[in-house]
Amino acid sequence: MFQKVTELTNLKELIRQEELVMIYFSQPSCSVCHGLKPQVEKRLVKYTEKIKFLEVNVLDIPEVAGEYQIMTIPVILLFYRGSEYMRKARIIPLDDLEKSVQKIVEGATGVLE
Q: How distant, in Å, are the alpha carbons of 77, 78, 97 from that of 86?
A: 6, 5, 9
Q: Which amino acid is at 84?
A: E
List of domains in the chain: 3-109 (3.40.30.10)
Give, for all 113 residues of the chain, the pLDDT tens digit: 999 999 999 999 999 999 999 999 999 999 999 999 999 999 999 999 999 999 999 999 999 999 999 999 999 999 999 999 999 998 899 999 999 999 999 887 554 44
Q: Angle 31-44/94-112 helices, nearest 10 degrees?
A: 50
